[in-house]
Amino acid sequence: MTVPESDGAQIEVVRVFTDQAGRFGNPLGIARYSSVADADHQALAARVGFSETVVLHDPRDGRATMRIYTPAVELPFAGHPSVGAAWWLNEQQHPVQVLDVPAGPVEVAVTDGMTWARARAEWAPVFEFHQFEDAAEIATLDPADFPEGKHYCWGWTNESRGAVRARMFAPAMGVPEDEATGAAAIRLTALLTRGLNITQGQGSQIFTEWDSDGWARVGGRVVADHPIVI
């Protein structure tokens, strides 16, 4: 990745919602607040260019404060940043049980190679859902067909097992296409009131569980990628 002029701020990078072999996944930029306290965080996220970049405060007493930015807007909550940040803190030997984001407290857990985040569906951005009877059609979609708004295109590949094929397009958030979207997965889980196994984008894997009364969990595998300096 070519990065603009350097001012020395290191951004950690992880890929969230990989497949079992560690392929695919959605890149997440993680900036320590102590390193970017005086920076324009929205501009920082735009320069990084990932679908989301987070600014993460040092954890204390099992919880950490986090702000989430797309290249264009700040989000009160998002799924792949919550899962990715929780995994990264655990890898740094600073595990937390709660990430405090503007929407509310997100309970997180790392267990058996999976990282989970629990949140309310209404915390997620509102998406326009498009269900396809033939899930194979989803692969033929062109991001140019979605010039505005936030769209989640999905179809069953095995309804009895909760298996879904999906893609997401959100130019309104500065994201022409998102490789793996935890917030949309939570919204769809709440809409269908059941756990799901979602394959999104090129092959990323997202797992969800429906708790009850508007609560859902989203989880998946995370791997470290090379940090960048901006």
So where are the chain's domains?
A: 10-118+220-229, 123-217
Query: ∠ at Cα 170 (67, 1), nearest 5°?
Result: 70
Residue spans of the chain under pLDDT 70:
1-7
- The token duo for 79 is 């799924």
Question: 9 and 31 in contact (C-beta within 8 Å)?
Answer: yes
Q: What per-residue confidence (pLDDT) applies to 7?
A: 55
pLDDT of res. 9: 86
Does the model's pTM come out above 0.85?
yes
Dist CA 213 CA 84 (whole Å): 25
Q: Are 4 and 230 in contact (CB under 8 A)?
A: yes
Q: Do 10-118+220-229 and 123-217 share a fold?
A: yes
Note the pLDDT of residue 196.
Answer: 98
pLDDT value of position 121? 96
> CATH fold of 10-118+220-229, please?
Diaminopimelate Epimerase; Chain A, domain 1 (3.10.310)
Q: Which CATH architecture has domain 123-217?
A: Roll (3.10)
